[in-house]
Structures are given as C-alpha cells and as structure tokens.
Amino acid sequence: MTVLPTDERRELACSIRAACAKFASQERVRAAAYDGDGGRGGVDAELWTVLCAQIGVAQVALPERLGGAGYGASALGVVAHELGRVLAPVPFVASAVLATGLLLDASAGDRDARLSGLLSGRRTAAAAITGGGGLWSRAAITLNASRSGDDWRIDGTVRHVLNGTAADDLLVVATVGSEPAVFLLDRTAEGVTAVAERVLDGTRPMATITCTGAPAALLTGEGPADDLIERNVNLALAILSAEQVGACERVLEIAADYARTREQFDRPIGSFQAIKHKCADMLVDLEWARSASQAALQALDNRDSESTWRASMAKAVCSESLRNAAHANVQIHGGIGFTWEDSAHLYLRRARTDEVLFGAPGQHWDRVSAHAKLL
C-alpha cells in the first residue's frame, strides 16, 4: 500500500466531482431512488459504470497485481467524500469497499475472476455481515453453513443487506459449527431470495436475504474469520464516515447559500443571530467530523492497533454531525425545507439512514468507552 500524493488526490476528487456533476444531478438521484428510472433498486447503473470504467473508483485500494492502483483507505476516503456530497446512488460502500475487501482477504474460491467483474463495474456485490443488530458480532450471525462432500449449503435469513437487491454476488457470514466463516453466493442461484425492504432513503436500498439450501463457496480457510471480518467492517465504517463528511460539507454550503440570498424584513436571513449560530454550529460539527474520519482512515493505512476504536469514533461523530447539519438545514430553509421539491429532505433521509447503518452512534460510543476502560 502506498500513499496517494496530494496532487493526485486533488485530481481524483476533481474527476469524480465532474462525473457527478454530469450524471448525479438532484433529478437523477431522485429518479434512481424513488422513480426506478435511474438504475436497479436505487442504483444508477450508468453513473456506476462511468465511475468504475473511466475513473477506476473500485480499483483505488486494490494491489497492482490484481489490477488495482495500490492505494489505501485514505484514497478510498477521497472517493467517498465526493460521492457523499451528491448522495450518489451507487454501491460504493457495499460493493467496492466491504464486499471487495472481503474478497481481497479471501484465501480460497474464484477470487480473481470475481474481483475483475467488480472492478469494471460489470458486476456488483453486497455483504451480509451485521444483520439486524447493526454492529458485527458473533451473536448477530443468523446464517448456518453445512457441508455435503465438497459442496456447501447456506440456510437462514439476514436482514438489512445494503444494496442486496441489485447485487450479482453475495458475501455472507455463516457459522460452521460454532465458528464464523465467509461464503460467496450468486444472488440469482436456486435457494436464494432477495426481497427489497421499505427504506427511508432510496439511495441506500436494503434487502432481506433468505437462503434455503443455497449453494455457496467457502472463501475463508481454517480457523475462525473474526479478524478478517472485523478488519473489513472497520474499513467500511471509516469510508462511510468520509461519505458523511462529504454530505455534511454540502449541506453547510446549501444552508449558507440560502441564508445569504433569502431575505426577510428587507435583509438576508443570514444576518440574524439565530441563523448565524446554526451555521456556526454546522461548521464546528463538520470540522470535528472531518478530523475523526481522517484519523480513522490514517489508522487503517498505518495498520494501527487502534483502528477499531478509531473507526467506531469516526462513525459516531460523523453520524451525529450529519444528523445535526441536516436538521439545521431544514430549519434554516423554513417552510420550503419541508417540501418534496427542495433537496433538504434528501440529505435528512441519508443522515437518518446512515446514523444506524453498521451500528448506531450509541453502540459505537460504547465500543470507544470500552477501549478507554470507561465501561
């Protein structure tokens, strides 16, 4: 893993922002999320193809020997930040981060062939890890694996699988005896059923996956897969926090622009102390979130032993910051902020969804407190 130079980070961000300006307008985001015209189950397939084929967002962190760029979590954070700004309806976290990370760590199976399809954007993947409880733990596993000769079969149901309805490949955690292991399934295989869940944010589609004797390939070798799973969940938490920072940054820009142009009593509403204080609080939250996210990404790049609690802190801080900013943005906009036509509700929906995705802030603060031996 090498560090992406500052100039190249800037170029990568500019390329993604330009692609999003063309293919991720507010109208397209709404279409993909709510009208079904922009992609498969909340995914804008055209945007995802452009990002993968022309910019290589799914290749950023993969080793060069596998066709990647060889950069680390911080480079993925650059991508996530730009996608978060526009609420891009693409499976970046689910497919390019969590599922790809699990495949990359796998010691068996047709890994390289699967990765090739994910890198190009021709295929997408989803990972069923945390289930209904949010946080990863052995107790959260609801799938069981059984072996018959050389074949593996999966049984059980797992909920809240991010981008599960649109994925071609499914990576699932199932128990083998009493130990967790990672398996690869084809979503369209016999015995696999994916039912779309009703979600608050259509750009974060989720599915309930039911397996009934579903054929699967074992990806992990001998011994429990706890460390492998936790490592990739930490990566997903850190990348999600970078997306939240991007969204929080954009929300502040939208609120500040409106406060400068909207007039009441013959003066911009931004001149009133109450509005100034809201914008100032949003800025403080943004910088706090940015610092927490960058610390988590850097810890992962450095393979720091503190990466687990730093990832949890980033998720907690960034979730709370985006939630507060999204609510303040609605209030600053006043009556129009409650309308369907305004973008405020899109960011509020994303904020509330991301707040509980992969664990709520309170759960992650508990993890941080446990690390600090406060609990």
More confident residue, 374 or 128: 128
Structural domain spans, the chain:
6-90, 125-218, 226-371
Among 102-111, 222-231, 287-296, top mean pLDDT goes to: 287-296
Among 220-229, 265-274, 283-292, 302-311, top mean pLDDT goes to: 283-292
Mean model confidence pLDDT for the chain: 89
Q: Which residues are CB-neighbours of 254 under 8 A, at least 6 positions away?
A: 329, 343, 344, 347
Cross-strand pairs, 145: 154
Q: Is the dihedral of CA 271, 273, 277, 280 positive or negative?
A: positive
**Percentage helix, strand, coil, to 5, in the chain?**
55, 15, 25
Question: How much is the pLDDT for 37?
Answer: 42
What's the pLDDT band for 375 if we cut at 50, 70, 90?
Answer: low
CA distance 66 to 300: 20
Residue 38 · residue 32 · CB < 8 Å: yes
Question: How much is the pLDDT for 38?
Answer: 40
More confident residue, 260 or 372: 260
Residue 163 predicted with pLDDT over 80: yes
Residue 85 predicted with pLDDT over 60: yes
Locus of tokens 């649109």: 166
Among 230, 197, 195, 226, residue whose Cα is nearest residue 211: 195
Among 19-33, 82-96, 132-146, top mean pLDDT goes to: 82-96
Percent of the chain surpassing pLDDT 90: 66
Instruction: Give the β-pairing of 125-128 and 169-176.
Output: parallel
pLDDT tens, position by position, 333-371: 998 888 888 999 999 999 999 999 999 999 999 999 988
CATH 2.40.33.10 fits 226-371, yes or no: no
Domain 125-218: assigned CATH number: 2.40.110.10
pLDDT tens, position by position, 87-133: 999 999 999 999 999 988 876 656 677 788 888 888 999 999 876 66
Residue 269 predicted with pLDDT over 60: yes
Question: How much is the pLDDT for 337?
Answer: 86
Q: Give me the mean pLDDT over the 171-197 stretch.
A: 92
